[in-house]
């Protein structure tokens, strides 16, 4: 392999990994800036060396947000992305290139904010919103019309009468900062995972199946691009003014520039002023205003030649690294946290920054006392992105990841394919014990009110509890001996604990805290194994045959039940009266009318929601699958089943069952 080929391969591998970290794991390890830089380096190498073409190179894709829960629809006009730049020099290049390509003809540049949300394409027919589709892979996207209709700033019916009979308008769906902060506060209070930034919150919300929850999340939308055969004006800016008359929300800060100087004035002003906008922005978009000139300029393979995005550098602060602390989670995972000299960054004071794992510490070459750069980059938890090595003067030791658990002293372990270190002492490491109990009592698990993390620690330190089963032995008298614990609170706590014995089996299963068994997996397991004895006896093969249970979960379940201590815990919880089987009601409603059937759900339904149909399929022993294949038994089809699915079903001669027919089948 040549050095160039080697370089290309390495970049591709790295970019694939970062893509996955960003889009799937939601845990980026590098800044967007660094990512774009690598992507451009790869693009340049690939252009210079077409002999190493690879159709699966990361440069080939525009990113995809497709999910199997929604109908997929082809875009009439593909949703392209914009070329990114980070330097003023490249903006000048863009401007000069445009001038040349237009043969020295005069032109205007429309300067807009680059909104940092999730893009959407809306289609209007005769003044009515008929569909809203996500970007998807740029060629086809998810039909999220029902959810988009809950967004108040998106008109369902247009005002006036001079709109084209049919057109598309594209824009960005956003969660305003204040809504985002409130949502995360609520989620923290409910012990739910926080959204990393408003962009993730907006795209996550748009993909919810329940549109009433979407409505409650108060999304907003800015529209910035109109497409159609008979738009009112030749100017992009002028068309957007028209769109505003018809009822669309368009940005009020968009301006037309006649010179490069005016473009730079706009960029520099908004680089600092954008922090006062109600929604997140991450740059400026510059577009040649005349549609005629846009057509003349045309497109490259991936983006228009008539527009460019100038991305802002994330705000960055420089401060001293004082110490590193290591937190131990309930599963024993160790999280390193940097303690910093307090510093002001994008409106808040930052004292701590996450360091993720040992590899990241190593790649930063951190020393205690170093002056480090911290960035927020749209995330709430700031991260360290670099070290000012020039400022290194009399620094302390190089940061070495700990080898032993800071809480119990046990040597740490690291699995080959994982980035995190673990403390294996799950039986006696205090934060693992209290962490497991905290998980057990959480709202989505046993929902025991009146006890929070501090109370758990207090009980544990007083020697009252060592595991979840001990909670059920607590007596009011024991609790009253504790600090700040009156008779009333003590009574309440004991009552709440007793009440939790009513919590249904799937949630009890979730509460046990078996690794990789979250809420949804717990439900699946409870359905497949209606009591805990059946689950305990299940072997690997039986487990992986359950819908959505993979090898990792199966192994984890087996490991959990192989442990004598866990089995004893369950025995004690059984004695305390907890629910370890599905209720008679649920069991009596279960049938095997759909046993052995693989069913695809498609379209829009009137009697039940999609989720309810999924539950019904499972209740009657069937299996809901995402896509049509030769193994599909039938398609449960509502209205507007996607044409692609219909064609595939016909090709494979798969039966299509209507809502009413289906309900009869399970009657
Ligand atoms: S115009 C063909 N204008 O940035 C160009 N895009 O990489 C169509 N975005 O996917 C896009 N603000 O989600 C345009 N004022 C703006 C924008 C904007 C944000 C997003 C959009 C697009 C991406 C471009």
CA–CA separation, 476 and 406 (whole Å): 34
Q: Can you tell me the mean pLDDT for 82-91?
A: 92
Is the minimum distance from the CB of 224 to ligand 1 under 6 angstroms?
yes
Q: Which atom of ligand 1 is nearest to the CA of 303?
A: 2
Cα end-to-end span (Å), the chain: 64
State the distance from the centre of ligand 1 to the C-alpha of 50, rounded, in angstroms: 29
Up-side HSE of residue 431: CA atoms within 13 Å toward CB? Answer: 18
The whole-number pLDDT of residue 61 equals 54
Q: Give the position of tokens 């006896």.
A: 537
Question: Is residue 584 packed enough to be buried (19+ CB in 10 Å), middle (13-18) or exposed (0-12)?
Answer: exposed
393: pLDDT strictly greater than 80: no
- The region of weakest confidence among 19-33, 77-91, 114-128, 340-354 is 19-33
Distance between CA 587 and CA 595 in Å, rounded? Answer: 15
The pLDDT assigned to 64 comes to 43
Catalytic residues: 114
Query: Over the stretch 491-547, which tens digit does the pLDDT of each residue have?
Result: 999 999 999 999 999 999 999 999 889 888 898 899 889 999 999 999 999 999 887
Taking only the tens place, the pLDDT of each residue in 647-656 is 888 888 999 9
Atom index in ligand 1 nearest the CA of residue 82 equals: 7
Q: Spell out a b/e string for 455-483, using b for 16 or more CB atoms within 10 Å of the CB, else e.
A: bbebbbeeebbebbbbbbebebebbeeee
- Say how far apart CA 371 and CA 391 lie, in whole Å: 7
What was the pLDDT predicted at 377? 60
What distance in Å separates the CA atoms of residue 558 and residue 551, rounded to the nearest whole number? 10
Ligand 1 within 6 A of 307 CB? Answer: yes
The alpha carbon of 81 and the centre of ligand 1 are apart by a number of angstroms equal to 7
In angstroms, what is the span from residue 559 Cα to ligand 1's centroid? 48
C-alpha 645 – ligand 1 centre gap (Å)? 30
Q: Is 240 in the pocket of ligand 1 (CB under 6 A)?
A: no
CB distance 514 to ligand 1 below 6 Å: no
HEC string of 292-356?
HHHHHHCECCCCECCEEEEECCCCEEEEEEEEEEEEECCCCEEEEEEEEEEEEECCEEEEEEECC
For the Cβ of 309 lying below 6 angstroms from any atom of ligand 1, the answer is yes
Residue with tokens 């009822």: 247
pLDDT digits (tens, 9 = 90+) for 591-620: 889 998 999 998 888 888 887 888 899 889
Which domains does the chain show, CATH number per domain? Answer: 3-62 (1.10.287.610), 82-311 (3.30.470.30), 315-423 (2.40.50.140), 430-502 (1.10.150.20), 505-587 (1.10.150.20), 591-666 (3.40.50.10190)
Complete DSSP assignment for 518-536: -HHHHHHHHHHSSBHHHHH
CA of 54 to the centre of ligand 1 (A): 27
Tokens of 583: 């209720």
pLDDT given at position 227: 96
Whose Cα sits closest to atom 6 in ligand 1?
A: 114
Q: Which of 269, 355, 353 is nearest to 312 (CA)?
A: 269
Ligand 1 contact, 286 CB (< 6 A)? no
Q: What is the pLDDT of residue 430?
A: 95
CA of 157 to the centre of ligand 1 (A): 24
138 Cβ below 6 A of ligand 1? no
- Give CA–CA dist 70/208, Å, rounded: 10
Q: Report whether residue 119 contacts ligand 1, using a CB cutoff of 6 Å.
A: yes
- Within its chain, how far is the Cα of 409 from the centroid? 35
pLDDT, tens only, 430-451:
999 999 999 999 988 999 998 9
> What count of residues does the chain have?
667
Q: Say if ligand 1 is within 6 A of residue 304 CB.
A: yes
Pairing assessment for the beta strands 334-345 and 316-328 based on DSSP bridges? antiparallel
Take atom 21 of ligand 1 and give the residue whose Cα is closest.
Answer: 119
Model-level pTM greater than 0.85?
Answer: no
Span 292-313, mean pLDDT? 92
Q: Which of 285, 288, 302 to mutate to test the pocket of ligand 1 (most atoms within 8 A of CB)?
A: 285
pLDDT of residue 170: 98
State the pLDDT confidence band at 629, using cuts at 50, 70 and 90. confident
Distance CA 271, CA 262 (A): 14
Please report, for residues 127, 206, 355, 516, the alpha-carbon distance to residue 198 in angstroms, rounded to integers and kept in the order given. 30, 12, 22, 26
Return mean pLDDT, the chain: 89
pLDDT confidence of residue 63: 42
Tens-place pLDDT, residues 236-253 = 999 999 999 999 999 999
C-alpha 473: how far from its chain's center?
40
Q: What separation in Å is there between the alpha carbon of 210 and the centre of ligand 1?
A: 27
Percent of the chain with pLDDT over 70: 95
Q: Please, which residues bridge with residue 85 across strands?
A: 310
Per-residue confidence (pLDDT) for residue 62, from 0 to 100: 43
pLDDT in tens, 541-584: 999 988 778 888 999 999 999 999 999 999 999 999 999 999 88
Nearest CA to ligand 1 atom 17: 114
Tokens for 384?
A: 């360290």
Nearest CA to ligand 1 atom 18: 114
The best mutation among 309, 310, 311 to test binding of ligand 1, ranked by most ligand atoms within 8 Å of the C-beta, falls on 309
Rounded CA separation 248/239 (Å):
11
* Pocket residue to mutate for ligand 1, from 114, 120, 136, 243, most atoms within 8 A of Cβ: 114
Residue nearest to atom 13 of ligand 1 (CA): 119
Lowest mean pLDDT among 50-54, 70-74, 114-118, 237-241: 50-54
pLDDT of 339 over the 80 cut: yes
Residue 192 has pLDDT above 80, yes or no: no
Measured from the Cα of 113, ligand 1's closest atom is 15
**Ligand 1 proximity of 285 Cβ (cutoff 6 Å):** yes
Q: Is the CB–ligand 1 distance for residue 334 below 6 Å?
A: no
Structure-token pair, residue 502: 């009513």
CB burial string 70-108: b at 16+ within 10 A, e below: bbbbebeeebbebbbbbeeeebeebbeebeebbeeeebb
- Whether 115 is in the pocket of ligand 1, judged by its Cβ within 6 Å, is yes
Ligand 1: centre distance to CA 419 (Å): 34
Ligand 1 atom with minimal separation from the 119 CA: 13
């Amino acid at each position: 392999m040549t050095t160039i080929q080697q370089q290309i391969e390495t970049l591709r591998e790295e970019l694939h990994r970062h893509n996955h970290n960003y889009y799937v794991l939601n845990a980026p390890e590098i800044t967007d800036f660094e990512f774009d830089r690598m992507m451009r380096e790869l693009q340049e190498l690939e252009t210079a060396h077409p002999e190493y073409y690879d159709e699966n190179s990361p440069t080939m894709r525009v990113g995809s947000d497709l999910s199997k829960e929604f109908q997929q629809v082809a875009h009439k006009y593909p949703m392209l992305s914009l070329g990114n730049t980070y330097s003023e020099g490249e903006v000048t290049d863009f401007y000069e290139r445009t001038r040349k390509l237009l043969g020295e003809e005069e032109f205007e540049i429309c300067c807009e904010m680059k909104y940092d949300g999730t893009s959407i394409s809306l289609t209007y027919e005769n003044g009515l919103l008929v569909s809203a589709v996500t970007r998807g892979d740029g060629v086809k996207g998810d039909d999220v019309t029902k959810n988009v209709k809950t967004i108040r700033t998106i008109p369902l019916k247009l005002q006036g009468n001079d709109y084209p009979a049919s057109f598309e308008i594209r824009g960005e769906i956003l969660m305003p900062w204040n809504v985002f902060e409130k949502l995360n506060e609520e989620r923290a209070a409910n012990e739910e995972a926080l959204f990393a930034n408003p962009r993730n919150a907006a795209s996550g919300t748009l993909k919810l199946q329940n549109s009433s929850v979407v409505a409650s999340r108060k999304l907003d939308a800015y529209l910035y691009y109109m497409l159609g055969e008979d738009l009112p004006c030749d100017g992009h800016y002028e068309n957007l003014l028209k769109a505003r008359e018809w009822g669309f929300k368009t940005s009020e800060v968009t301006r037309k520039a006649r010179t490069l100087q005016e473009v730079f004035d706009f960029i520099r002003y908004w680089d600092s002023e954008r922090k006062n906008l109600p929604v997140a922005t991450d740059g400026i978009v510059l577009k040649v205003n005349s549609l005629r000139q846009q057509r003349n300029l045309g497109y490259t393979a991936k983006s228009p030649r008539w527009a460019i995005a100038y991305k802002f550098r994330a705000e960055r602060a420089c401060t001293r690294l004082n110490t590193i602390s290591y937190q131990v989670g309930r599963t024993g995972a160790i999280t390193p946290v940097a303690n910093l000299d307090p510093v002001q960054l994008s409106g808040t004071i930052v004292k701590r920054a996450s360091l993720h794992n040992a590899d990241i510490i190593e790649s930063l070459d951190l020393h205690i006392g170093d002056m480090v750069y911290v960035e927020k980059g749209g995330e709430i938890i700031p991260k360290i992105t670099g070290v000012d090595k020039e400022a290194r003067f009399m620094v302390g030791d190089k940061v070495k990841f700990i080898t032993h658990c800071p809480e119990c002293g046990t040597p740490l372990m690291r699995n080959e394919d994982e980035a995190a270190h673990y403390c294996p002492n799950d039986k006696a490491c205090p934060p693992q014990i209290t962490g497991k109990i905290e998980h057990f009592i959480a709202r989505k698990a046993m929902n025991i009110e009146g006890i929070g993390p501090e109370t758990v620690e207090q009980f544990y330190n007083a020697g009252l509890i060592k595991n979840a089963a001990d909670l059920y032995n607590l007596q009011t008298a024991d609790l009253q001996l504790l600090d700040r614990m009156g008779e009333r609170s003590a009574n309440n706590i004991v009552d709440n604990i007793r009440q939790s014995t009513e919590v249904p089996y799937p949630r009890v299963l979730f509460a046990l805290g078996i690794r990789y068994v979250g809420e949804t997996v717990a439900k699946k397991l409870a359905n497949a194994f209606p009591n805990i004895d059946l689950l305990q006896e299940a072997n690997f093969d039986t487990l992986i045959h359950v819908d959505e249970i993979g090898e990792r979960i199966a192994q984890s379940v087996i490991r959990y039940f192989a442990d004598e201590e866990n089995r004893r815990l369950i025995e004690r919880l059984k004695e305390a009266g907890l629910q370890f089987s599905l209720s008679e009601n649920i069991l009596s409603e279960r049938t095997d009318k759909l046993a052995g059937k693989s069913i695809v759900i498609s379209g829009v339904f009137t009697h039940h929601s999609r989720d309810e149909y999924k539950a019904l399929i499972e209740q009657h022993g069937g299996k809901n699958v995402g896509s049509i294949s030769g193994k599909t038994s039938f398609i449960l089809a509502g209205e507007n089943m996607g044409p692609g699915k219909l064609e595939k079903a016909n090709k494979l001669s798969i039966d299509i069952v209507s809502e009413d027919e289906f309900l009869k089948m399970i009657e």
